[in-house]
Structure 1
């Protein structure tokens, strides 16, 4: 049972890192901007991007998730439609 929980948690962390990557790479937001908007340290953003999820507190993950998902919701319409489709396919 614990393995299922850990797997689900890692999937959520991976998805958050993916959305964060879109904000940084496509929308050109900086790690510093995300950190300031989230109220976390830049190192937390870096750890998320590098897959070091265990080094980030649950509180910091939550704050980043709220910020990232809000920004993603606001900015996704500015992305080309085929870009969003390729993101969906890469998660399958």
Structure 2
């Protein structure tokens, strides 16, 4: 249930809360204004964190993760970690 700006597979940075500055990948939607995000380490794909859309900043997109999520394929924590590591290196 995208809000128009953020879709599955987008890499976002938390801008509010205890985890401010932490980078996540959007893995789903909880409600129209609530994202489900994971980082593959502390927040695994099996137990994603809920974040309000207003409390994140969109950065880029993890192409492989986005294609897998949109295609209904299973995404692993390792794939999420690799996508985030690639973004943090650049």
Structure 1 length-normalised TM: 0.29
Answer with 1 or 2: which has the greater Rg: 1
Higher percent of residues as strand:
2
Structure 1 or 2: more helix by fraction: 1
